[in-house]
Amino acid sequence: MKLGKTYTLSAIAALLDSPFSGDANLAVTGINEIHRVEHEDIVFVDHPKYYDKALNCSASVVLINKDVEVPEGKGIIICDDPFRSFNFILNYFNPFLFSEIQQEETEIGAGTKIHPSVSIGHNVKIGKNCLIFPNVSILNDVTIEDNVIIQSGTVIGSFGFYYKNRGTHFDRLNSNGGVLIEKNVEIGANCTIDKGVTAVTTIGEGTKIDNLVQIGHDTYIGKKCLIAAQAGIAGCVEIGNEVTIWGQVGIASGIAIGDKTVLYAQSGVGKTLEGNKTYLGSPVDESRAKFKEMALVRRLPELFSKSAKE
């Protein structure tokens, strides 16, 4: 998420009323979750296991709960609760607005047809020749390009599923990113596409999505993909171009799937996958290896029987 103008390390520290180390004039132009950070971004870390990863990522400023050595060219802000401080900054620069009525400022392209029951939030842009069917909810910070079809009951731009366990309760990380639906995308009925926590959840040009599909926050789906019903894709996933995902596939967060991958139905994907291959099973494996494994499993009763007789 970009902040709209350039701030300094000292200005952000003053906003949080927290001490800092590093060049006071270090430029800050954005804030991002660690999977999406860029140079001049702010990121947070609140567990020693991830200190090194955060301090050596692309971000320029790290919110951290310990005074540590500052890497060259970076700054740190020492916070009692970096998660809460990160949430504060997100809400400070992009406060949540609840939509109680249809937003008159929505940009809608020529030839687009929108059913009267559709709900549209703040900062929404809809391109030309789109079809948006009854009871679709398009929430804040969504951009829909030309020739997009969205079928009934779909929700675009809902909060990301990102929580911190406080022991007695869960704190939600604010979702202040957005959603981009590129040209010629079709989205089925009753799908849910979460907005980015800090970046933009993206559905690439020409991708077709079946009914009852869940796509998590900050996930990027490439061009000309096919995603069948009841697939569940977690947050911060990178899916390449021309990937086929069949029904009830589950994909874990923070992994990548290469171009032209095919995932057979009900596969459980918990690791990054090389492109141009076909996979199946849970845990997933290349199809040839998995079919051999299945053939051997079918022979187990026979093998046990022979072993008992011997």
Catalytic site residue from 35, 115, 122, 217 = 217
**Spatial distance between the Cα atoms of 20 and 37, rounded to a whole number of angstroms:** 20
Match 């290469």 to its residue by tokens: 258
Measured CA to CA in angstroms, residue 231 lies from 191, 212, 306 at distances of 10, 7, 41
* DSSP, res 258: -
The backbone region for 113, taken as left when phi is positive above 0, alpha when psi lies in -120 to 50, beta otherwise, is beta
For helices 9-16 and 82-93, the axis angle rounded to 10 degrees is 110
Element spanning 14, H or E: helix 9-16
Count how many residues are written for the chain: 310
Question: 122 an active-site residue?
Answer: no
Residues 6+ apart with CB under 8 A from 304: none
Q: Read off the amino acid at residue 15.
A: L
Catalogue the active-site residues. 217
